[in-house]
Amino acid sequence: MSKNRITPRSEDFAAWYQDVIAQADMAEPAEVVKGCMVIKPHGYAVWEKIQAALDKRFKATGHKNAYFPMLIPESFLKREAEHVEGFSPELAVVTIAGGEELEERYVLRPTSETIIGHFFAKWIQSWRDLPLLINQWANVIRWEKRTRLFLRTTEFLWQEGHTAHATEEEARQEARRMLEVYADVAENVMGMPVVKGLKTRTEKFAGAEKSYSIEAMMQNGLALQAGTSHELGQNFGRAFDVKFQNQAGQLDYVWQTSWGVSTRLIGGLIMTHSDDKGLVLPPNLTPLQAVVIPIYRKDTDREAIVNRAHQAAAALHNAGVTVEVDDREGFTPGNKFFHWEQRGIPVTVELGPRDLEQGVVVVKRRDTGGKEAVAQDSAGGYVTGLLERMQGEMFARARQRLKDNTVVANSFEEVREILEPVSAERGGGKFVMAHLKDDPATDAKIKALKATVRCIPLTDEYDGPGKCIVTVETVPQRVVIAKAY
Partner RNA sequence: CGGGGCGUAGCGCAGCCUGGUAGCGCGUCUGCCUUGGGCGCAGAAGGCCGGCGGUUCGAAUCCGCCCGCCCCGACCA
Site for RNA in 261-300 (CB under 7 A): 262-264, 277, 295-299
Residue 1 or 60: the one with the smaller Cβ distance to RNA is 1
Residue 124 or 192: the one with the smaller Cβ distance to RNA is 192
CA distance 414 to 165: 44
User: How many Cβ atoms are within 10 Å of 238's Cβ, its own excluded?
Assistant: 15
CB 323 within 8 A of CB 313: yes
Name 247's Cβ contacts closer than 8 Å, sequence gap at least 6. Answer: 127
What are the angstrom distances between the C-alpha of 121 and each of 148, 178, 237, 268, 294? 37, 23, 8, 36, 61
Min separation Cβ 296 and RNA, Å: 6
Candidates 145-153, 171-179, 388-396, 457-465; binding stretch for RNA (CB under 7 A) = 145-153
Can residue 3 be called a binding residue for RNA (CB under 7 A)? Answer: yes
| Near RNA in 99-138, by CB under 7 A | none
Among 46, 149, 185, 436, binds RNA (CB under 7 A): 149
Residues 376-394 as b/e (b if ≥16 CB within 10 A, e otherwise) read beebbebbbebbeebbeeb
Min separation Cβ 315 and RNA, Å: 17
Can residue 47 be called a binding residue for RNA (CB under 7 A)? Answer: no
Residue 12 or 129: the one with the smaller Cβ distance to RNA is 12
CA distance 452 to 471: 17
| Near RNA in 306-335, by CB under 7 A | 330, 332-335
CB 272 within 8 A of CB 219: yes
Among 40, 57, 238, 302, binds RNA (CB under 7 A): 302
| Near RNA in 50-109, by CB under 7 A | 86, 89-90
In the shown chain, the binding pattern of residues 397 to 436 toward RNA, with x for contact by CB under 7 A and - for none, equals: --------------------------xxx-----------
User: How many Cβ atoms are within 10 Å of 130's Cβ, its own excluded?
Assistant: 19
Residue 118 or 148: the one with the smaller Cβ distance to RNA is 148
Min separation Cβ 67 and RNA, Å: 20
User: How many Cβ atoms are within 10 Å of 349's Cβ, its own excluded?
Assistant: 27
| Near RNA in 335-354, by CB under 7 A | 335, 337-339, 341-342, 348, 350-354
Min separation Cβ 140 and RNA, Å: 8
List 256's β-bridge partners, or say none. Answer: 164, 233
CA distance 455 to 211: 9
Can residue 355 be called a binding residue for RNA (CB under 7 A)? Answer: yes
DSSP-based three-state secondary structure for 167: coil
| Near RNA in 171-230, by CB under 7 A | 205, 225, 228
